[in-house]
Structure 1
Amino acid sequence: MKIFLTTARWMLLAACTLQLTACGGITLQTAGETSTRNLATPVVKTQASTAEPQKAPVSAADGLKLARLLRDQGRYEAAAGVYGQLEQRGDLQPLELLEYASVAARVQTPQESLALYGRARRALEAGQQPVPAAARANLCNGLGRARMATGQRDAALADFDCALAADPDNVTALNAKGVLLDARGEHTQAQQLLTRASELDPADFRILNNLALSHLSSGDTAQAIRLLSQIEAPQWPTLKLNLAFAQSMTGDDTGARKTLTTIMTPALAGQALADFSERRARIAAGASVAEELLAASRQLLPLREAGSQEGDRG
């Protein structure tokens, strides 16, 4: 499979795939799909289904049992199909409709997610029972992710505030709001939120990555390097790419090259360094870091040379 590097876009989290990053940075793209890099709740890839679409059982109870079983097996597309049939039959209660939206968000477009979460919100608001805090946070986060992915950043920010009102320590909302504020240049507040999110979930290195990129965007390159250097996560080469870019920003091309060659061939590391150097020169001439990262999001750099095998390092 051909793999490319691309700097992450101005978008954000989830579910994704969100196209708004904390402050740019580098992420990966494979076979035409852009990976997210900064959401606390990542998109989980669905297992390709070769079977016929699932038919909802006769009873609503059996249908929900099947949908949840498929969900728990990671077969989100099949699960969403069963939930969808149950909704068409009018068999879903408001909280179950929200459950459907949360599953379907993994396999449908942001526009479709926004419509489905909207139906769930109307159903919950029309219900006779109070909406549990956890469900409200889930709903608001879902709306926020979908709005971020469609470029509605101000509305998304309000949604994440809604999630935090229901659950002040909600990691997903803290991370997402931090990224949105950082994109608006409100770095201090963004860093406070991202630090809190990282304290609550120290195992999610994507949050720490977002925090590092916030420091990079605000001009504190040394802190960005310090944070990125302490992360060892081979499954996320994006972190190494961001570290190399931060090192290059200080003029440490030797260190940046050493970092890059841990994830790509020496020849391609040289190409990446040349790109970094051009961006550094434009920043020195007055361009903002955010502007350069946004421009870089439109450019693809090969991770491996044409014809090389997946495991080759050159």
Structure 2
Amino acid sequence: MRPNPLHLLLVPALSLLTGCGALTLKADPALSARTLAAPAAAMPAGTGETQDNTAKGLRLARLLRDQGRPQAAAEVYAQLEARNALKALELLEYASVAAPVQGAQDSLALFGRARRALSKEGGTLAPAAHAALCGGLGRARLALGQTDAALGDFDCVLAADPDNVAALNAKGVLLDARGRHAEARALFAHAIEQDPADLRVLNNLALSHLAAGETAEAVRLLAQTEAPQMPALRLNLALAYAIEGQRDDARRTLESFMPAALAKRALEAFEARSQRIAQGAPVGSELLAASRQALALQEADAP
């Protein structure tokens, strides 16, 4: 089977680095030119024509960004960087726009160049730019498995912006992976206070309870929303029901968004995990294994 990312079962806190499914790190919104762009007077030195071309290039890149075309915008920024035409804040702007459309290693390198440029320029970085820099580094390092460094980056974001939902969520995931469930849940709760509609945070909070063996609370949280745009939430709810021994509820949950034959197969897998947990297998280990198992959501995806 060639799984679609939407068909991947779980990404609980213990397996946040698999990069799929339920546990996701919400990216910071695109940074505005007002926040990050250097003023016109600070454009690179050179002829008037060079400065004019740079200004035109930046306007085009920002227009493409604002139109929701990050790939095209990133290509324009890249051309400007190749000519050494970007100031430090503009390089950070480029890194933020390019992050969703490039690999983690490339993203880490680009944010690293922005950090060096900002350090070389000196001065005090605005809180929004500080959070953008640290958050970009943190997300890239997280994707590369550099969890200790990523934790420091998300602490850096929260020092500049204590209510940053993405950083609260990411740090919570990292603490959960270390078994520090109470601390993680405090961060998830704070994030939900800031954005009650963020289902990814709600999902991570529920998975934290599930990993800690608090299955009933995980069920309560996951059952709060239908979340048709996030089928992984329903999969997680079905697994929690199975662990609780509520087979009929688990089956009905699965059949609400997948064919009965596939729901039966998924339920059998969940019940096998539930049995291993009942026999003493750590819940976290079973969640980790579940996160690496692909499940089809429609017949065409079945093996």
Give the TM-score taking structure 1 as reference length: 0.83
Q: How many residues align?
A: 280
Output one character per residue of 1:35-92: Cα deviation in whole Å (capped at 9) or x when no partner: 5632232899xxxxxxxxxxx9961111111001111111111110000111111111
Shift of 1:287: 1.7
Aligned pairs (5 A) from 1:202-241: 202-241=196-235
Contact 2:22/2:233 (<8 A) preserved = no
Alignment RMSD (CA, Å): 2.4
In 1, are the aligned partners of 2:154 and 2:170 still within 8 Å (CA)? Answer: yes
Task: Compute the displacement of 1:2 (Å).
Answer: 7.2
SS, match of residue 227 in structure 2? coil
Change (3 A) 1:2 1:42: farther
- How far residue 141 of structure 1 moved from its aligned partner, in angstroms, is 0.8
Q: Distance in 2 between matches of 1:191 and 1:39?
A: 15
Cα distance change, pair 229–57 in 1 and its aligned pair in 2 (3 A): farther
Q: Distance in 1 between matches of 2:85 and 2:25?
A: 32
Q: Is the 8 A contact 1:110 1:146 kept in 2?
A: yes
Cα drift, residue 283 of structure 1:
1.5
Change (3 A) 1:123 1:162: same
Does the residue aligned with 1:301 lie in a helix, a strand or coil?
Answer: coil
Instruction: Say yes or no: does 1:22 pair with 2:20.
Output: no
Q: Is 1:247 equivalent to 2:249 in the alignment? A: no
Q: Could you give the per-residue CA deviations for residues 147-205 of structure 1, whole angstroms, max 9, x where no partner exists?
A: 01000001100100111111111111111000100011000000000000010011111
Pair 307,64 (structure 1): closer, same or farther in 2 beyond 3 Å:
closer
**Compared with structure 1, are the counterparts of its residues 43 and 35 closer, same or farther at alpha carbon in structure 2 (3 Å cutoff)?**
farther
Q: For 1:59 and 1:146, locate their aligned partners in 2 and report how far apart those are by CA, in whole Å.
A: 31
Q: Which amino acid aligns with 2:146?
A: Q
Bigger Cα Rg: 2
Which structure has the highest helix share of the two? Answer: 2
Q: Are 1:146 and 2:131 an aligned pair? A: no
Matched, 1:197 2:199: no
Q: For residue 7 of structure 1, what is the amino acid of its counterpart?
A: L
Judged with a 3 Å threshold, the aligned counterparts in structure 2 of structure 1 residues 180 and 165 are, in CA distance, closer, same or farther, namely same
Q: Which runs of 5+ in 1 are unaligned?
A: 10-20, 28-32, 45-55, 309-314
Q: 1:76 to 1:35 in 2, by over 3 A?
A: farther
SS at match of 2:7: strand
The 8 Å contact of residues 203 and 222 in structure 2, kept in 1 or not, is answered as yes
1:63–1:307: structure 2 CA closer, same or farther, 3 Å change rule?
closer
Cα offset for 1:143?
0.5
Aligned partners of 1:301, 1:247: CA distance in 2, in Å? 17
Match 1:107 to one of 101, 112, 127: 101
Q: 8 Å contact 1:256–1:273 — kept in the other structure?
A: yes
Counterpart of 1:273 (choices 263, 267, 281) is: 267
In 1, distance between residues paired with 2:128 and 2:28?
Answer: 19
TM-score (norm. length: structure 2): 0.86
Residue identity (%): 58
Task: Note closer, same or farther for the CA distance 1:35–1:297 as it changes in structure 2 (3 Å cut).
Answer: closer
Q: Which residue of 2 aligns with 1:175?
A: 169
Question: Of the candidates 25, 34, 37, which is equivalent to residue 39 of structure 1?
Answer: 25
- CA-to-aligned-CA distance 1:5-30 (integer Å, 9 cap, x gap): 22344xxxxxxxxxxx42459x9xxx
Equivalent residue, structure 1, for 2:116:
122
Rounded to whole Å, the distance in 2 between the matches of 1:226 and 1:84 is 47
Distance 1:262 1:88 in 2: 52
Assess, with a 3 A threshold, how the Cα gap between structure 1 residues 87 and 142 changes in structure 2: closer, same or farther: same
The letter for the 2-side match of 1:282 is R
CA–CA separation in structure 1 for the residues paired with 2:158 and 2:13: 19
Contact 2:22/2:232 (CA < 8 Å) preserved in 1? Answer: no
How far is 1:307 from its partner?
8.0
User: How far apart, in 2, do the equivalents of 1:119 and 1:245 lie?
Assistant: 43
Higher strand share: 1
8 Å contact kept, 2:13–2:177 = yes
